[in-house]
Structure 1
């Protein structure tokens, strides 16, 4: 944000000095940026980039109004729900609105606007509207209309899931008051083509919510191939072949990550976070959101001994390595990205690159994350499986030192396995560990009495789980 404030206003940057109310022309700028290449709008900043600030007593009202108006087809047609961020600069409140490029054509007050270096201008001539439509059609294939798609072609159980995800992320989200069809329409998954008047559900709708057989009929080449190549590098140690909707594909990929990649104890401030989850939720979402789905090449997620590497077909917006300290985020599938944001699976655009870059060294203990833009988009996250292997010896030694000598070797091996699994998957319950180790829950509870120095139970009896103690984690961190 500080980097942006040092720049002059341009095609993708707008300052508005209003302090007490939303600017009268704000939605003209939002509409224009949606129709062009997106951009950033700052409220409380004058034309020269000086921080004036928004009055503190109206900040939250303005944010709420912005969210509601961007979701209102009377104000922005079609709606494109935005999530403004409030920042404090020089003890003054500033509202930052990140506007992505959209795959649709938007209107405000029934007028289409486009963006140039000179600002926002009305687009009323049919040939100019056609130019915008052609530009978006050529770049954003997620907006292709499939007139034959009907509501019955979508997985009905997914609508329950998305409501639960939205509710847990934002209990006051305006979509929660809508029925299934209204959610599809207001999220842009149903659209009208301004060139030929065609209306219907889009490719994005099928990918996000379609039944598996529907997706395969529309894009039969669609698949995500997840592999582990640590021991058998010629083929694979494990493989997950995904051909389902993107909401469940995300969950399957994250389960694959949990099974095959270790976690690591990490404090951010005074709060423990899962480095594995924080990094790979961004990598997984990026693989899904920014893929060019009309390209027949598969998306891949491969875990090697020294790195995790993803690759997906891409409609590039530039070439070469992305510099995390100086880049402009550009969604390749704005509708899909927007939908994932509502579910709480993605933060604001560009945050994934920044978060992953910041935490990768903490996770791997070496190297930097790499993001390579081109006809395929490649992400490389360094790993350190040699340290992970050595941690097995650490666990074995710690269990042997801690547990009574009267405990037989078979039980010690099971205790070691429990420690390793809790290091990989913190929070497992007795029934989970019983299934993993092949013994009864009674045996697991007996095992826990032997591991009181190394394992602790956290949470309520019915919903809590087992975690490694700080003592055990310190042993692993110092291996």
Structure 2
């Protein structure tokens, strides 16, 4: 249960981010941030951003949203996430409204913590916002990737995919790989690097 002005038993880390909404237009604030965090989680290990929780002390403050505003927020978030490139199945994201409770343990009318859940992407492709920016989620921080960082991210993802493929082949064929099988894996990896422009 999320109680007003009480802290939650969760910290900002690789999988959780908190944002307090201070402006007069919470829908625009959330809409303007959601794709950056979604991209960061897609490019990392997945996670959730919670709007309506102070990041300084994890206190629940909530976001005031009536029924029409919640409907509008659902549409705005959905539209914003639909512009992420490469496209992701829109059913993998979750937008949830958690009621905020008062000291009397009753829900406060139209006060919510808004949670956007994003799974990790199993793709070796890097995801970008509609403004062609790439982000990753590190320990409690969303970080924008620069050119060399983008290249490093792609190389690490390709190497990881190659190792996964090697493990699958080893399991399927036993622990001994022939030189031909290793050559095939190396050819696949080289092809992936060429197609990524590296």
TM-score by length of 2: 0.61
Residue aligning to 1:49: 58
Query: Partner of 2:119 in structure 1?
Result: 100
Given that residues 38 and 81 in structure 2 are in contact (C-alpha distance below 8 angstroms), is that contact kept between their aligned partners in structure 1?
no
Answering whether residue 195 of structure 2 is matched by residue 197 of structure 1, we say yes
2:10 is matched with which residue?
A: 7
Taking the aligned partners of 1:52 and 1:123, their CA distance within structure 2 comes to: 31
Report the Cα distance in structure 2 between the residues aligned to 1:194 and 1:89, rounded to whole angstroms. Answer: 48
Distance 1:118 1:93, change over 3 A: closer
Q: Distance in 1 between matches of 2:35 and 2:74?
A: 14
Query: For residues 85 and 140 of structure 1, what CA distance do their matches in structure 2 show?
Result: 32
Per-residue CA distance 1:3-24 (angstroms, 9 max, x = gap)? x941221121101112722333
Instruction: Give me the TM-score of the superposition, normalised by structure 1.
Output: 0.27
For the residue of structure 2 that corresponds to 1:25, the secondary structure is: helix
Match of 2:143 among 100, 121, 130: 121
Mapped to 1, the partners of 2:100 and 2:161 lie a distance apart of: 36
- 1:36 aligned partner: 44
Matches within 5 A, 1:392-407: none
* RCO comparison, higher one (Cα < 8 Å, 6+): 2
State the alpha-carbon separation in 1 of the partners of residues 192 and 137 from structure 2.
19
Q: Which consecutive aligned stretches of 4+ in structure 1 deviate over 6 angstroms post-superposition? A: none
Alpha-carbon displacement from aligned partner over 1:248-295 (angstroms, at most 9, x marks no partner): xxxxxxxxxxxxxxxxxxxxxxxxxxxxxxxxxxxxxxxxxxxxxxxx
Counterpart contact for 1:35–1:132, Cα < 8 Å: no
Stretches of structure 2 that go unaligned for 5 or more consecutive residues are 102-106, 166-190
Structure-1 separation of matches of 2:150 and 2:196: 15
Distance 2:40 2:193 in 1: 19
Distance 1:106 1:135 in 2: 15
Q: Which runs of 5+ in 1 are unaligned?
A: 145-192, 200-479
Q: Give 1:42 deviation, angstroms.
A: 0.8
Pick the structure with greater CA Rg. Answer: 1
Change (3 A) 1:34 1:116: same
